[in-house]
Amino acid sequence: MAHREDRREDLGEAFQLEEEDAPLLDEAQPEDSSKRPRTPLPKLQIGILTLIQFVSPVSAQSIYPYINQLIRELDITHGDETKVGYYAGLIESLFFVTQACTTLSWSRLSDHIGRKPVILIGLSGLSISMLSFGLSRTFITLVLSRCICGVLNGSSGVMKGMMGELLDATNMAQGFALLPIYRCVGVTVGPFIGGLLARPADSWPHMFSGRFWHEYPYFLPCFAVSALVALIAVAMALFLKETLPRRKTKRSSSESPEDAQADFPSDAPPPMRTLLIPSILIPIANNGLLAVVETGYNALVPLFYSTPLSNGGLGFSPAAIGILLGCFGILNGIAQILFFAPIVHRLGPTPTFKLSVAFFFPIFALFPIMSWYVAKSGVDSVVWGCLVLQLLLQTVKDMAYGTVTMHITSAAPSKRSLGSVIGISQTVSSVARGLGPAMATSSFAASKQYNLLGGNLVYAIMVALTFCVLYLGSWLPDELPKRRN
């Protein structure tokens, strides 16, 4: 009897090893996932995990309402308003540039030691860097703070890998629909924190009248973000379960199942050269070029809002920028909740991606229209109508990220390679995100400074890049490969 039980245990272990070595996706599987019963979402784990998708834009977007004003107060531009964009774009880009140098290493490390430790390291680095940013009063310390954040932050890419391990072909659209929702909530909260808590001594002089708040007027929003990141890190440390596949080791009768699963598998992830194939590189390239356009747009919005009327901007205050971007985040979050998954199920990931990218064209066209109108009539109901229209169009544009992420996670050939695939994608995306803000804000500054194309050359550049994204999107497969059960 004991021999039979041992034999059954050995067969179970062999099946487990075969299952973990099997390809993550099986392109030859003929069964249509739409006809299979939808696998229930692991709601608790997905909910905890997607908090990263919430907190990352909070930390990034929270500095946008006041970063241009901070640059002016540091007086590194020597009163030249047209140079603000150069320095603001550099600070906004540094996080992504430094992240690009380490994100692949973090993702590869997560294939060895697990996803959860890498995520916790990233969140810790983000919390520390935000505190440092709030205490910085020189351009060099601002730069160092953003670099620290980028070097230590490997959590975003690893999070997407964990999502891929938790989902299958039947519930992938439903699961990845949550990513833009959480991102939109973060986009909402971030500007509110940055805009409303900046310079608290001016807004609430009775509560923040001390010398510290006058010397460090932007510490409060940074502290609020840092505390929020730390709270989420604690929640993940307590409740997030590791998803990296583990091999079961043969155990003695006195060893518990929990002890038997304590060791990570000894087999290494596949060599990087085996992942450099078109089916993986095409969606990664789409994500990278999309990131250039997206981050460029995100950097242009607050810069355009804060630029004085005389230079073709709207002249909004940091508080007004924060409220406007925050209200958009609420609207965008509602739109993603209601429409993302139904549209993807109806049209498919690739058509949805192309449709979303196409909405960049009218979005960029509205910038010079508003600039031209403001020069003649100032900010009135027409300008506000254009702003509302631009934000409404952005709700469709933001669906591109969810769909291209579905393509990337589906391209991984095996479970053991998923972290590496995500790492490559995150590296490319980080480089792109580093280029996007610097390119867009510098082009904006040069367009205004030298009156290039009537001060609107930057928008022509962004439109040209959008055409490139659409062309590259035509190389994406029409359908996602099916995941093997």
Task: Residue 427: give its domain's CATH number.
Answer: 1.20.1250.20
Task: Show contacts of 67-71: CB within 8 Å, 24+ apart.
Answer: 67/91, 67/92, 67/302, 68/302, 68/303, 68/306, 69/198, 69/306, 69/318, 70/142, 70/218
- How does pLDDT run across 238-271, given as a tens digit for each residue? 998 888 766 444 444 444 444 434 444 445 667 7
Residue 333 belongs to a domain: yes
Assign 413 to helix, strand or coil.
coil
Please enumerate in sequence order all residues whose Cβ is within 8 A of that of 34, keeping only pairs 6 or more positions apart, or say none.
345
Q: Write down the pLDDT at residue 423.
A: 81
405-434 burial code (b ≥16 CB/10 A, e <16): bbbbbbbbbbbbbbbbbbbbbbbbbbbbbb
Closest CA to 283 of 271, 275, 294: 275
pLDDT given for residue 402 in this prediction: 82
β-partners of residue 25 are: 483
Whether residue 33 lies inside any domain: the answer is no
What pLDDT shows up at residue 16? 40
Expressed as residue numbers, the domain containing 153 is 43-243+272-483
**Does any domain span residue 47?**
yes
pLDDT at 36: 62
| CB-count burial class (<10 Å; 0-12, 13-18, 19+) for 308 | exposed
> Which of 428, 425, 442, 437 has its CA nearest to residue 159?
425
**What pLDDT is stored for residue 11 in this prediction?**
39
In a domain, residue 400? The reply is: yes
Q: What was the pLDDT predicted at 216?
A: 92
Give tens-digit pLDDT for 398-419: 889 889 988 888 887 876 677 7
Residue 477 domain flag: yes
The structural domain count of the chain equals 1
Overall pTM surpassing 0.85 (yes/no): no
Cα separation of 98 and 148, whole Å?
8
On whether residue 85 sits in a domain, the answer given is yes
Cα torsion angle, 392, 326, 96, 408, sign: negative
Positions in the chain short of pLDDT 50: 1-34, 247-266, 483-485
pLDDT of residue 465: 96
Domain-located, residue 312: yes
